[in-house]
Structure 1
């Protein structure tokens, strides 16, 4: 489907008699969108196949779901392009971040917005006549808005131009950032979209899906925080920068709960500094506080609790959907 998606977007630009922009857009799309794990896209497709009645699983409906799956990937690419600029990241998916490619710089902001608006062009093109069109649009607008709120909360917590305020790094703050920046668009959005297309209207089901999605999103982000610190570049495709950027992560929140006054001084001096020696001092402090081992225990306990919660769900939604997704998350390495 990807060549068709690229053709749809670039053809619409060409129709406005601006071929140079169409050529640039194609290059940008190919660079920023298809290289990821496509987790959100696959969740949408698998969820639809599990939730929709058999007579609805037509070739045309599956094609529409795949188009919408690429819309999720376009939205993901938009968030990543903008996020990399904000975080001053160097690498993404094993190559230079888009804003660094050929010194594109701040012009990449416009490319990010192009990715976002292309989503709404495709939704209108393919879903306008569907009875769930308004619900679909409303969800994309609403969750897009919530994700940007999460990004703002993350940025305000980080405070790039000076040392981060460690007093702000509480577990409640961390959970709020994860809920808005990660959980909504990574887990709630693909499953709710599948439910809309499948014709599900039971509000109890929607509420339970959101509850379990938030819980899975939190596990997903804690894993990402671990990989940023201790993951291998060849597997993750990017260098970890959470310490240098002074991010509010699960690890620094736990560290602040455990440190002695002397150890806190190390964080105050080194956290949010790009000096390699200071970064290493923070990593060593995390190790001294036994946080890597705490993480593995936390991951195992969370996995077991989520599995139990899923098996107790009684709203009629497929348990296998969430159990399969949970298995994908278990011990993830990238």
Structure 2
């Protein structure tokens, strides 16, 4: 039977991820890539989660179920967030030990478990169809709304892993409090996202403003996707000062906005086979960057057209919205935004990098610049 690590490498390859662009072959390799070493740790963590409770025979079925939950939902993303903990830690500390690199990877996996918690719930709320090139977890046979409980389990895994590996570390409380804080911030952003759209599903563009959009992105995406990996590495490295964390956060929140606008663009104009999901922002009546840009540019007739077709799960109406985006040349608007925002971001890094290596932030920036997935 194929083991979970090999399965990760194979599925990542089939989904077109650059880090493992070919299915592993039986040839000698001098040094495994960071992604491969990161992936190799996943089975150990799943086993730790299972063994912690395995003496309780009456919950064996639950433990076996939750192992499937983790193996399906956690390991098949791009893992940029998780690996960023490792790369950031290496930039902050000289002569790192193998033990500390392993701990940094474990913290990276904690982010991947946290993200799985967010995504399983998000897919249910958005009625999404696919995630990472496979059906959403709640769409699996015999899962359905059991996925709500599964998502709670995925979040609980973060704290089980932290307790197992970090309880005796001096920065343990910093890690626990940071994950709690990030979870609270992210659910605040998710709430803003959800209540911006009326419960009855009617299209109401009055709340679709850039101010609301930026708030949603900041709280729902930027904190956990960009600040969290860097902050974890900083705490591991003994960097706890409020001032340095504030400066890092300033850069990383801006970077998160840049990333989310890319995501909104790819949701409409990206290749589903590349991004790993079918975009649903239009039919879900989302307060996305594209619709905000459209509202700034439409004439009276075009606004009526947008009002009549946005937020409808009807292929014909979805296409009419996309056609309107084409008429407004939003692809050019996006390309101009991407270029200008990248330059502004690099200037922001220059101004705020007096206390941390600039590479901590430029590595992120270049990784997401002009991304297609």
TM-score, normalising length from structure 1? 0.97
CA distance in 1, matches of 2:56, 2:355: 48
Confirm whether residue 2 of structure 1 aligns to residue 35 of structure 2: no
Where has structure 1 moved over 3 Å in runs of 4 or more? none
Match of 1:223? 262
On the 8 A contact 1:99/1:108 being kept in 2, the answer is yes
Of 310-319 and 86-95, deviating more is 310-319
CA distance in 2, matches of 1:161, 1:15: 48
1:44 corresponds to which residue? 85
RMSD: 1.1
Matched-pair contact (CA < 8 Å) for 2:201–2:285: no
User: 8 Å contact 2:218–2:256 — kept in the other structure?
Assistant: yes
- In the aligned structure 1, how far is the partner of 2:94 from the partner of 2:179? 24
1:61-111 C-alpha deviation (Å, 9 max, x unpaired): 111111111110000001000000000000001110000011411110000
- In the TM superposition, residue 209 of structure 1 has moved relative to its aligned partner by 0.5
CA distance in 1, matches of 2:243, 2:78: 31
Q: CA deviation at 1:159?
A: 3.1
Aligned-partner SS, 2:165: helix
Q: Which residue of 2 aligns with 1:193?
A: 232
Do residues 110 (structure 1) and 149 (structure 2) align? yes
Give structure 1 stretches of 5+ with no counterpart.
Answer: none
1:109-258 alignment to 2 at 5 Å? Answer: 109-159=148-198, 161-258=200-297
Give the Cα separation in 2 of the matches to 1:13 and 1:201.
34
Q: Distance in 2 between matches of 1:314 and 1:245?
A: 39
State the match for 2:362 in structure 1: 323
CA deviation after TM superposition for structure 1 residue 25, in Å: 1.1
* TM-score using structure 2 length: 0.87
Whether 2:332 is the aligned partner of 1:293: answer yes
Q: Secondary structure at the match of 1:76?
A: helix
- Contact in 2 for aligned 1:182/1:217 (Cα 8 Å): yes
Q: Deviation digits for residues 124-174 of structure 1, max 9, x if unmatched? A: 111111111111111100110010011111111133532231110000000
Q: Note the alpha carbon deviations across 1:279-306, whole angstroms, 9 max, x for none.
A: 0111111111111100001001111111
Structure with bigger RCO (C-alpha 8 Å, 6+ apart):
1
Maintained 8 Å contact 2:129/2:139 = yes
Gap runs ≥5 in structure 2: 1-40
- TM-superposition CA deviations, 1:216-254 (whole Å, max 9, x none): 000000000010001111101110100000000111111
